[in-house]
Amino acid sequence: MSQGIRIRCISESAGPIVRYAYHLYNDSVSVQFEVGGSYDELIDFGRQLQQYPLVYFNDEQEYQAVFQKGKNRPRFLWYFRIEVFAYKTNGAAAVKMVYDNNAAAEYRNRAAFSIRTSPASIVELGHLLATWKPTEQAEVVWVADE
């Protein structure tokens, strides 16, 4: 089985707020959900990822890139976080994903898992996100190296 991320812009209007359908998956878990956002919100995150692993090896601190929406606490509509970090000194990377709808216990949906991949695959993901234009291409798909 493959592992990766699929993001589809599902808004029909050209307004500043759009809806995204996310599908994130690894060998064991597959999660799909929709969240609101802006057309250009993934560009900066993508640019951070394009610097991997150069930033990791040139900086004494641990490399970490984060994209986060919402808050991880009650009264917020949802919480979504993608965190990319090195888990080995050779630069091997993981993409950690957390999604929580922050609902009451009987309605709650929460998922958290990681995708392990290579540094080159992280750079590829960064390029895809930094250059993606949802107004021209409705979907972006990244399949992680295993």
Report the 10 Å Cβ neighbour count for 70: 17
- What φ, ψ does residue 2 adopt, rounded to 5°? -90, 170
Q: Is 22 exposed, middle or buried (0-12, 13-18, 19+ CB in 10 A)?
A: middle
Cα separations in angstroms, 81 against 30, 96, 106, 115: 15, 8, 22, 14
Strands 93-100 and 110-117: antiparallel
Reply yes or no on whether the pLDDT at 115 is more than 90. yes
* Predicted local distance difference test score (pLDDT) of residue 56: 52
Q: In a 3-state reduction of DSSP, which class is residue 21? A: strand
Q: Is 52 exposed, middle or buried (0-12, 13-18, 19+ CB in 10 A)?
A: buried
* Predicted local distance difference test score (pLDDT) of residue 58: 53
Handedness of CA 62, 31, 81, 111 (dihedral sign): negative
Residue spans per domain, the chain: 4-143
Across the chain, what does the average pLDDT equal?
Answer: 87
Which residue do the tokens 């970090």 mark?
Answer: 85
Q: What CATH number does the domain located at 4-143 have?
A: 3.30.2450
Query: Residues with Cβ < 8 Å from 40, sequence gap 6 or more?
Result: none
Tens digits of residue pLDDT in 45-85: 999 999 887 665 555 456 688 999 888 777 778 899 999 98
What is the model's pTM? 0.88
State the distance between the two ends of the chain, measured CA to CA, in whole angstroms. Answer: 10
